[in-house]
Amino acid sequence: MGSKYTAFTLAIYALLLISLFNIQTVAQVNVTMRLNTSTCLDTLRPTDIVQIRGDGTAALTWDAKSTAIATNIGGDYWEVTFKAFPGNLIRYKIWTGYSLSPEVGTFHWSGWEGPINAGAPSDNNRLLQITGKDTVLNLQYYNGWENTVPQYWRPFQSKQDSVAVYFRVNMGGVAFDPATQLVDVRGGLPMGGATSWTTIKTLSRESNSVNSGSFQSGVAYIPKDSIVAGVTQQQFKFVIQPDNWESSSNRSFVFSGTNDTTIHWYYFNNRPPSGPAVTADVLFRLKLDALEKAGLFDESLGDRVAVTGAKGWPPSGFDFDTEPTMLKMTYNTTLEEWNLVENFTKFPGEVIPYKYYIRWDTSRVDTASVNYIPGLDLQNGWEEPGFTGGADRNYTYTSDAQQFIAGDFGEEQQFFNSIDSRGVITTPIDVAFKINMTPATDVNENPTNPLFRPGIDTVYVQFDGCMTPITQGLTMYGTDNRLLLTDLDGDLVYTGTWSLNPPTFYQFCYRIVYTSPSGEIWNGSGSAIRGRRYYQYVHPASVNGQTVIWPVSYQLAELPWMLDSLTIEDPPSFLTDNNDIALLPNQYSVSQNYPNPFNPVTRIQYNLPQRTKVKMEIYDITGRLVHFLSDAEQDAGVHIADWNGNDSYGNSVASGIYFLKFNAGGYSKTLKMMLMK
């Protein structure tokens, strides 16, 4: 009797287990996600990998083992379906890459998308509450940016009566300067012209995209009632303004309906960066002499420096010691410089963006320590190089197995913030600023802000990313480092003088802030692009080798208020005394550069009979603008400008013929120069 009861009990128990298993199996529902990767900042293709990573269901993990791998359904569009149990709360993110084993993610954050606002606490992840039925989610765009975006964001505005068409082109394989050139999408009807192709959209640079901002993108709109689904076709091409058209065949797409759409990216003229890929060691060399002289860096105290950006940029709140994108440099006691040899595998012609970053020792912000630096913030270690106007440095990769990055100022090394080792002012100095606010009162020059009101609004020089305020015990970015400007004679030229104690720097980087009824108006940009802020320099009174004499007072050149693309002056030369002027010239002239041919530095002397604006531009043999030597007012006298063979981004240019276009006071002349390496 007992054995039968035991067998019966076991049988019932087994049936219950089977029943429970069946209930759990039946209870699972399908979750389908539709994704769009037009906002990935890398050259992701339909054959690459888009994966959902997360937790809350067996299909998802936070690593490459996640089985939720999406299938490309055309262009930028992907779809993935996995199973989950009702009631599950799923946290997840989109990951993009080229390989899962070994794991190779896309540019920027090693494949991970940026922070997401899911509408509820989620640690910057996406959220999904599973219901009791199959679910198809609305389209989700990958967040390629560093900014937090809503879970169901779009990179463009949707309009009720129009279809949005999002275009992208990668300019990495062609000669193109995003600082001075623009790209159009041009085509015929229905989005362009009837008799001739016209501009559909002028694109904007994705400054944080791969290859130092090689992508350009933009959205154009077409009325829904002009589209016949499956029939209406749009032909187009990309064009570098004014009229450098792609030589490839016309591009085209057919509207499948009246939903907003993205057009998968193209290389301009179908030209990617040239290959095959080359594996090479790249040598970075850095000197921090100027910061050491000013007491802002000391290796013996534990201050350290790294190269960052070359293999991705760090996330916010990173730890310097463990963050893999912080490529730590080593101090070479023999050369008295910081070195890094880093291995890369890239295509010749690819651009490596990077900056230097200082990790100061914590004693630097300890008020009780003898190492304390007033005004210093440990988070402000980012370099803001004057050569690039605060934008990233760029190195163009070559086919050599051993590669060396060119130095600043014709030297073998680069200098942090591109502050020359001789650019430390060792005596007290009064520096005067002069800003013409007239453009800020003109709606054509200042179309997006409340116009400046003379005599009512207050004007400041706002130092921004500048290390000079730290030498005075002020912050790099705070409002405590502002300089009030005034207009005493009503000519709209606002002036102010800053009295500086030594040691300090000859470099000033700043923006202009003025008050308005709707708040403060800042010109320039907070993004890491060239022209985000003004850069000006104090010029020495005399130079004799390493001996530099600084003036007691110095008037910086007058600059106009500008909305963006702010003026970036070239730093002064320390090769010889540039101020040994005997007599004022009686006419405008410019002399042939010397030496010519040259390597690595050549000198141009020019004469100004009166104060005037001087514009000196260097072009290569194709007519592409390579570098601005000057675009500012200068005093009368004999002047000297040096060119070290670098472009506007601080990159060493190739050997060849270059042309200097000189314009001043109605006088113009073009010189031919030859760089031989």
pLDDT digits (tens, 9 = 90+) for 650-672: 788 888 888 899 999 989 888 88
Tell whether the torsion through CA atoms of 182, 187, 192 and 193 is positive or negative: positive
Is the link from the previous residue into 503 a cis peptide, with omega within 30 of 0? yes
Q: pLDDT tier at 3 (50, 70, 90 boundaries)?
A: very low
Six token digits for residue 105: 């993610």
Tens of pLDDT, residues 24-45:
455 899 999 999 999 999 999 9
The answer to whether residue 50 scores a pLDDT higher than 60 is yes
**522 beta partners:** 513
* Average confidence score pLDDT of the chain: 89
Give the pair of three-digit tokens for residue 578.
């540039």
DSSP conformational letter for 471: H
CATH superfamily for 27-150 is Immunoglobulins (2.60.40.10)
Please check the confidence at residue 458 and state whether its pLDDT lies above 90. yes
pLDDT the model gives residue 20:
44
Q: Which band of pLDDT confidence, cut at 50, 70 and 90, is reported for residue 17?
A: very low
Number of neighbours of residue 559 by Cβ within 10 angstroms: 19
Question: CB 231: neighbour CB atoms within 10 A?
Answer: 8
Q: Say yes or no to pLDDT of 22 above 50.
A: no
What value does the mean pLDDT take over residues 75-103?
95
Distance CA 213, CA 393 (A): 12
Q: Say how far apart CA 53 and CA 69 lie, in whole Å.
A: 9
> Is pLDDT above 50 for 410?
yes
Residue 59 has pLDDT above 70, yes or no: yes
Q: Find where tokens 């959209």 sit.
A: 201
Quick one: pLDDT at residue 193?
A: 86
The pLDDT score that the predictor gives to residue 6 is 54
Q: Is the predicted pLDDT of residue 148 greater than 70, yes or no?
A: yes
Q: What single-letter DSSP state applies at residue 4?
A: H
Output b/e per residue, 607-642; b: 16+ Cβ within 10 A.
bbbeebebebbbbbeeeebbbbbbbbbbeebbbbbb
Q: What is the pLDDT of residue 138?
A: 96
Inform me whether the pLDDT recorded for 390 exceeds 80.
yes
Report yes or no: 115 and 9 within 8 Å, Cβ to Cβ: no
Counting residues of the chain whose pLDDT is more than 70, the rounded percentage is 94
The CATH code of domain 280-409 reads: 2.60.40.10
The pLDDT of residue 487 is above 60:
yes
| Mean pLDDT confidence for 131-149 | 93
Whether the upstream peptide bond of residue 190 has omega within 30° of 0, thus cis, is yes
Task: Write out pLDDT tens, residues 610-637.
Answer: 989 999 999 887 778 999 888 888 888 8
> How far apart are alpha carbons 199 and 662 in whole angstroms?
33
Residue 15: is its pLDDT beyond 70?
A: no
Neighbours of 643 (CB within 10 A): 25
At 7 the pLDDT is: 53
Residue type, 480: D
Give the up-direction half-sphere exposure of residue 510: CA atoms within 13 A in the CB hemisphere: 26
Q: Which two tokens stand for residue 643?
A: 């060119």
- Terminal-residue alpha carbon distance, the chain: 102
Cis amide bond preceding 102, omega within 30: yes
Identify the bridge partners of residue 127 per DSSP, sorted by sequence position.
91
How many residues in the chain? Answer: 677
Structure tokens at 232: 């209406």
For residues 110 and 181, give the distance between their C-alpha atoms in angstroms, rounded to a whole number: 30
Indicate the DSSP class of residue 592. Answer: P
**Residue 427 predicted with pLDDT over 60:** yes
- Output the DSSP codes for 275-318: -S-EEEEEEEEEE-HHHHHTTS--GGGT-EEEEEBBTBPPPTT-
| Nearest of 392, 397, 416 to residue 329 by alpha carbon | 416
pLDDT reported for residue 2: 43
Pairing of strands 542-544, 521-522: unpaired
Task: Check if CATH label 2.60.40.1120 holds for domain 581-677.
Answer: no
Nearest Cα to 527, choosing from 150, 264, 205, 244? 205
Q: What is the mean pLDDT of residues 199-217?
A: 93
Predicted local distance difference test score (pLDDT) of residue 268: 92
Three-class SS of residue 273? Answer: coil
CA distances from 527 to 59, 147, 176, 368 (A): 38, 12, 20, 35
> How confident is the model over 297-349, as pLDDT tens digits?
999 999 999 999 888 788 888 999 999 999 999 999 888 899 999 998 877 87
Cβ burial of 674 (10 Å; 0-12, 13-18, 19+) is middle
Q: How confident is the model at residue 296 (pLDDT cuts 50, 70, 90)?
A: very high
Is there a contact between 97 and 105 (Cβ–Cβ < 8 Å)? yes
How far is the C-alpha of 72 from the C-alpha of 48, rounded, in Å? 9
**Is a pLDDT exceeding 60 seen at residue 205?**
yes
Q: Please state, in angstroms and rounded to a whole number, the distance separating the CA atoms of residues 408 and 387.
A: 8
pLDDT value at position 583? 55
Residue 506's nearest CA partner among 409, 626, 595 is 409
Give Rg (Cα) of the chain: 30
DSSP state, residue 99: E
In this prediction, residue 343 carries a pLDDT of: 93
Amino acid at 74: G
CATH homologous superfamily for the domain 422-577:
Immunoglobulins (2.60.40.10)
Contact 556, 434 (CB under 8 A): yes
Q: Which of 671, 560, 550, 555 is nearest to 618 (CA)?
A: 671
Tell me which CATH code domain 162-270 carries: 2.60.40.10
Dihedral sign for Cα 386, 392, 398, 401, please.
Answer: positive
Q: Where are the domains of the chain?
A: 27-150, 162-270, 280-409, 422-577, 581-677
d(CA 22, CA 73): 33
